[in-house]
Structure 1
Amino acid sequence: MTDSLSGISLPVPEGWYGEELQVGAALTSKESYDCPGDASKTCVKGGAYSAPAVVLGTRGGTAEEVAKADIAANAEESYGGEAYGRITSHDVLASKAVTVAGQKGYLVRWRAVTQEGSDGFVQSLAFPSPSRPDQIVVVRFGVDTDQRQTVLDEITEGIEVAEGGRGSGQDV
């Protein structure tokens, strides 16, 4: 799935689908269920989406600063609120430097413990855009804990520079 704004493509795991957004791209698990905190809403087993940090309102000058600043908002968006009740606690599973699409990035992964229903693995991944190095891209992940945690690694490791994602757009 291509995020042309950020100049990257994300792999679509088996059992998921993807769509390009106005400011990014989204991956969503095909498996859904009634949200435990509000059965009138539908929750999915997992999702991920990319967007520039500035669009998300996440501050920081480096990939590490952005990933660390974004994780709490990501956890709240993915597993807080009416869908699962509040997040009662979290465990930090990873906080490390990674290379994504040839860029030096950083990821923070939590296990978010919810008040109702499934707990979740949440991950904030930040790295400079391959097509706009001054712009930091954030990929937010949220996956129910009954799913394979390795899907987070599979997506992270599969992010590539989008075809035609480099250059000024002037060469024809």
Structure 2
Amino acid sequence: MTPPGWHPDPGYSGNGPAQERWWDGAQWTGHVRASPGAARRRGIRIGVGVTVGAVVLAAIGGGVYLLGEDGGPPGTAASSPSAVPDPPGAPDDGEKGGGENGDGQGPGGQLPPTEPGFATDLAAGISLPVPKGWKGTSGAVGAGLTTGEHACPGDTAETCVRGGVFSAPAAAMKLTAGTPEEAAKKDIAVNAQESYGGKSYGKISSHEELKSEAVTVAGGKGYVVRWKVVTEKGDDGYVESLVFPSPTSKDMLVVVRSGFDVNKDAPKLSVLDDITRGIKAASGAGGGAGGAV
């Protein structure tokens, strides 16, 4: 007998990335999600080299480009006070399907689940709390939070943000380290370089480790590493790489990358800690919620 759990969707049409459906031990349910390995590069990125179907947030602490794949507006805005209605034919009791249609939609035009005040990462099975005044964007693969847009110090033709946080499955970022601790320690240097290196801020001249410790997020045992980096141009920055198991698939690691400017107009680090504590399992995705301790 096939045990309850996520399995390849027997009804998958082949359009869009592969997806999985929940088998309850007796029958297939209406709950579907993007397969963990379904993240593919299609020219849309969130944060540091991650593909999503909703927005481009290139270099989360550096440049932010809030564009859809066709140059239009981004996908589902989690800061909206109302939830996005189900499209015709969508399951009425489960998680929406994942995909990469350039608008945050999955196969068949399905949208990621949206909760007021949260940005949902469908593939990772999590929701990020959207702080007051921030912009949140949900996606089939990845979710993002940004605030404080301004001209990048190294290239004023580009737009940077004072604070940015984004999530994606580790596989979507080609991060293959085995444990949350190994993954976070490996990811932080990449996060720092792509957030505050390059033409947006120039090279990083040095860094100081501020935090490296175990943490519980959404009921899972994870690990977080935080650095303060010194840049060549403009403000210095705080970068953080947080890794923990998905609340809907314990075999999947989720990475949350953050970048905050060191600037009086940037969010305080306490806001980043509040976001971490507020991360939860996506509504309807199963698994337990719970903050960091």
Contact 1:98 1:106 in 2 (8 A): yes
1:81 to 187, 198, 205: 198
Q: What residue number does 1:104 align with?
A: 221
Whole-angstrom distance in 1 between the partners of 2:245 and 2:191: 19
Q: What residue number does 2:78 align with?
A: none
Following superposition of structure 1 onto structure 2, how do residues 11-90 of structure 1 map, counting pairs within 5 Å? Answer: 11-29=129-147, 31-90=148-207
3-state SS of paired residue (1:46): strand
Q: CA deviation at 1:158?
A: 0.6
Q: CA deviation at 1:5?
A: 1.2
Contact 1:59 1:69 in 2 (8 A): no
1:62-118 residue CA offsets vs partner (Å, 9 max, x unmatched) = 110110010011011111100000111100000000000000000000001100001
The reply to whether residue 161 of structure 1 matches residue 278 of structure 2 is no
Whole-angstrom distance in 1 between the partners of 2:125 and 2:171: 16
Letter of the 2:122 partner, please give it: S
Whole-angstrom distance in 2 between the partners of 1:45 and 1:19: 17
Letter of the 2:144 partner, please give it: A
Structure showing the higher helix proportion among its residues: 1
RMSD over aligned Cα atoms = 1.0
Whole-angstrom distance in 1 between the partners of 2:163 and 2:149: 9
Contact 2:123 2:141 in 1 (8 A): yes
Q: What residue number does 1:94 align with?
A: 211
1:110-148 residue CA offsets vs partner (Å, 9 max, x unmatched) = 001100001111000000001111010000000111231
Contact 2:122 2:139 in 1 (8 A): no
Letter of the 1:27 partner, please give it: L
Structure showing the higher strand proportion among its residues: 1
Whole-angstrom distance in 1 between the partners of 2:257 and 2:276: 11
Q: CA deviation at 1:3?
A: 1.2
The alignment covers a number of residue pairs equal to 166
Q: What residue number does 2:253 align with?
A: 136
Gap runs ≥5 in structure 1: 168-172
Structure 1's consecutive aligned runs of 4 or more residues displaced over 4 angstroms after TM superposition are: none
Q: What residue number does 2:19 align with?
A: none
Contact 1:28 1:48 in 2 (8 A): yes
Q: CA deviation at 1:20?
A: 1.2
- TM-score for both structures, normalised by structure 1: 0.93
3-state SS of paired residue (1:10): strand
Tell which has more relative contact order, 1 or 2 (C-alpha 8 A, sep 6+): 1
Whole-angstrom distance in 2 between the partners of 1:93 and 1:70: 15
- The range that moved more, 49-58 or 14-23, is 14-23
Whole-angstrom distance in 1 between the partners of 2:283 and 2:249: 14
3-state SS of paired residue (1:155): helix
3-state SS of paired residue (2:260): strand
